[in-house]
Each structure stands twice: as C-alpha cells, then as structure tokens.
Amino acid sequence: MMDAREHENRTAIITGGGRGFGKAFGHALAARGAHVVLADIDAQAGEAAAAEIRAAGGAASACWCDVADEAQVGAMAAEVAARRGGIDILINNAGLHSAAYAEPMTKSGLAKLRRLFDVNLMGVIICTLALRSAMAGRAGASIVNISSSASYDCPTAYGVSKLAVRGLTVAFARELGRDGIRVNAIAPGLMFTETIRRELPQALVKSVHEQQILKREGGEQDIVEAMLYLCSERAAFVTGETLRVSGGLALQV
C-alpha cells in the first residue's frame, strides 16, 4: 500500500521540471512529502512550476540548468546537496522530443543531431555522475530515466537516443548498485500532453492508437504512477529495468 507521506524529508531533483511530465512528477513527489528541485533550461517555467507546487502546499524550488552543460549541472548538484544534506531521487526527464526531431537523420543536419544527443544522452550521463556522491548510501536512493516506446523500433534519431537511455539504465544500475542506488527507466507510449496535442498530425495519432492493445489515450498520470512506483519501497528489488507504459504498443517477447 502506498504511504501518502512516503517521501517525507527526502530531496528530489527533476530535470526538465518546468512543464509536462517534469512538472507532474514534481507535484506528485511534493504531495508525498519530498522537497522537489525543478531544474530547467527555461528558468521562468521552472519558477512558475515551483510556485504552483508551493501554492498547493508542497515544498519546491527551481534552478536554471542546461543538462548538457557539465559545469552548470555540477554547480546545481553541489548547491542542492549542501543545502539539503544529500539527494534521494533523480528524475532524468529533460529531453528534446518535438516534431522537429521526428525526421530522417539525413535531413536533420549534424548540428541538430549533436544537440539532440547532447541533451537526451549526455544529459543523463552528466546528471547521474554529478549526483552520484550525494545519493550514495542514502536509503531508497533512486534514479528514474525517461526513455520512449520509440526506442523499440528507432524510426528516427530521437528513437535511437532513447534506445541509448535504456542502455545507460542497465549500465548505471550495474555501476551504482554498490552505492545502494537503484536505476530504472520508463518508456512512455503516446501520451497526450499539451505539446503532443499541438504538434502531432491526427493521422499519426490514429495509427498509434490502432497498434495499442488498450484503446484509450495515455496521459501524464499514467507516467506519474509508474514513476512513483519505481521511486518507492515497493520497487526496492527492482533495478536496471525499463517499464513500458504504452497501452501495449508494439509488444515484444
């Protein structure tokens, strides 16, 4: 059974915390007692999301951070760890995923591809390594990476970047297990956020729904529930796994 205050006095850093999944993760963890730090390259969005969480009775702060910038991430990690006495949860949520990246690599150009992999792949590596020492040895320490169902067929560079996130999840689970840190990932299917509704053609939405076993729209709360499970004691013996939350999209054996 879930404890309504299971994250009391714990500290969680959520990258890309200013909107979308990141903001939803922040609300959910704060509602369960955590102090959430929303790290976002859009400082205004991060501050607005933190203020929204505080208005709802939660504890939240925000910081400006580009996850692909090693110096910025290192400074954030050191500041939060010093102020909070350590870090318990890291959600590697920041990522580039707009329609601009859903195109063939032959059309994207190297500059766009480099930025995609700097954020989606190197961002996970940089944040995980920067926070390792502040999380090591803390009871229930947990890292959750956000992959994608696109990582199972890799139709674009975006899918390839999220395949790499699944690989990193296994590699870091092996490396950080000795520190008592569990590392898992979530692979969302098509989830109806504001961005998705605005950007995706209806024909593509219909095509994805036809491939799902469960014939309904996925939403932010579906991903939030998966995150809460992976960060909880209910998943204390789970590490190195990627949990698909996709309505049965493209199941494989």
**Structural domain spans, the chain:** 11-245
pLDDT at 101: 83
pLDDT at 253: 61
pLDDT of 221-244, one tens digit each?
A: 999 999 999 999 999 999 999 999
Residue 122 in tokens: 């190197």
C-alpha 143/C-alpha 233 separation (Å) is: 13
Residue 198: strand, helix, or coil: helix
Which of 97, 89, 113 has its CA nearest to residue 8?
89
pLDDT at 250: 66
In DSSP terms, 66 is beta-bridged to none
Which of 218, 223, 100, 195 has its CA nearest to residue 156?
100
CB contact at 8 A, 64 and 71? no
Residue 15: strand, helix, or coil: strand
How many other β-carbons are positioned within 10 Å of the β-carbon of residue 174?
A: 12
Q: What is the mean pLDDT of the chain?
A: 93
Q: How wide is the angle at C-alpha 227 spanned by C-alphas 224 and 233, nearest 5°?
A: 130
How many Å is the Cα radius of gyration of the chain?
Answer: 17
pLDDT at 2: 59
Q: What is the assigned CATH class of domain 11-245?
A: alpha beta
pLDDT at 115: 96
Counting as low any pLDDT under 50, the low residues of the chain are none
Please indicate, yes or no, whether the overall pTM of this predicted structure exceeds 0.85: yes
Catalytically annotated residues: 158
